[in-house]
Amino acid sequence: MRDYAADDRVVLTLDAGGTNFVFGAMAGHEPAAAALTLPARADELEASLATMVEGFERVRAECPRPPVAISFAFPGPCDYARGIVVAPPNLTAYRNVALGPMLEDHFGLPVFINNDGDLFAVGEAAAGLLPDVNARLERAGSPKRYQNLVGFTMGTGFGCGIVHKGALYTGDNSLGGEVWLLRNKLVPGTNVEEGVSIRAVRRAYAAYAGVALAEAPDPKRIAEIARGEAPGDAEAARRAFAQLGEVAGDAIAFVTTLVDALVVVGGGIAAAHRLFLPSLVAEMNGRYTTPAGEPFRRLVQVVFDLEDPEQMEAFLRGRTIDLTVPGSGRTVSFDALQRTGIGVSRLGTSQAVAIGAYAHALERLAR
């Protein structure tokens, strides 16, 4: 993906929540206008649409240059390719609303709408983990480079975005990367989001600590308990995060089987990554067994924890060998270690989504 950090074009953005709409503008990777927060009016469609127009109008008036596009995340389900909002649960007035076309008619600008998981992945591909890892590989003298990235957000839900060689993969129904609907390894009758989310950590802690779910604290507090920074059942806290890592690792391994890419995680739970990345990586590096009882690797790629200094060093080193070309005396270098890595957002989730909205808009304009 191209580097848009020095681009001076302006794109209007929006963080659409069920309570508030937060409007902004980006130029390069920096804000081009002060953020503006207005009430979402989630259950009143006409009032909410008027708020959206007002917010973009007011931010546009503060921009140093006329914007070239509008690009933002909006909760699904949506037909993102056509800009149609179908039925987001926290914005109840929006039922089959042609939001993108309405904004295009009003502002005379191209409008790009996606979900936050998609834009998080685009942001990390444009200016986060992907360029960071490639720069580290270059400095280490490795011939290895990565072109693809899968981003996962862990918080209220479990989201996913896929970037393939600089382009966001959305699918034919705007449903690419709906990882939350994969099967939960530990409770196969449920979906994986019930094992990888805020409520999953609380539920697991309550079960391991033997307390009522209502008494279980939020994941931030559970992480503090696990680290001995707050009173509580430290063993139960550590097991709760290890369980999340196991369930997430199983799901991410399935995605990695189909999408051979680097992996980045973000969202509120990512702040506790040291508590769940070891079990997540162990799950991805796990084994299957043949009917004859012989073990073999679940993934062909070796998975490295990029937040662990020793594993990062081994990942960067790889296993480069020189091969003699048959029939000639020349040699070629080859990195024989097929591998991927998983790391935490280099930008922070909110910043990654904003940069993702910006980069995605400019990529689309270039087509």
For residue 150, the surrounding DSSP H or E stretch is strand 148-154
pLDDT tens for 233-265 read: 999 999 999 999 999 999 999 999 999 999 999
Interhelix angle 234-258/219-226, nearest 10 degrees: 110
Interhelix angle 99-107/45-62, nearest 10 degrees: 40
Which residues, in sequence order, are bridge partners of residue 321?
A: 334
pTM of the model: 0.92
Closest CA to 354 of 71, 2, 37: 71
Angstrom distance (rounded) from CA 83 to CA 314: 44
For residue 291, the tally of other CB atoms under 10 A from its CB is: 5
How large is the average pLDDT for residues 37-62? 95
Q: What's residue 308's pLDDT?
A: 97
pLDDT tens for 1-46 read: 788 989 999 999 998 888 889 999 999 989 999 999 999 998 999 9
10-115 and 129-346: identical CATH topology: yes
pLDDT tens for 310-357 read: 999 999 999 999 999 998 889 988 899 999 999 999 999 989 999 999
Please tell me what DSSP assigns to residue 97.
B
Report residue 106 as tokens.
């009003």
How large is the average pLDDT for residues 210-215? 96
Angstrom distance (rounded) from CA 98 to CA 94: 9
Whole-number CA gyration radius for the chain: 22
Superfamily of domain 10-115: ATPase, nucleotide binding domain (3.30.420.40)
Q: What band does 85 get if pLDDT is binned at 50, 70 and 90? A: very high
Please give the CATH architecture assigned to the domain spanning 129-346.
2-Layer Sandwich (3.30)
How large is the average pLDDT for residues 148-175? 93
Report residue 261 as tokens.
């890419």
Three-point CA angle 55, 267, 360, nearest 5°: 55
Express as a percent the part of the chain with pLDDT over 90.
Answer: 87
Q: What's residue 70's pLDDT?
A: 97
Q: What's residue 76's pLDDT?
A: 86
Q: What band does 138 get if pLDDT is binned at 50, 70 and 90? A: very high
- What does the domain layout of the chain look like in residue ranges? 10-115, 129-346
Closest CA to 150 of 42, 264, 22, 229: 264
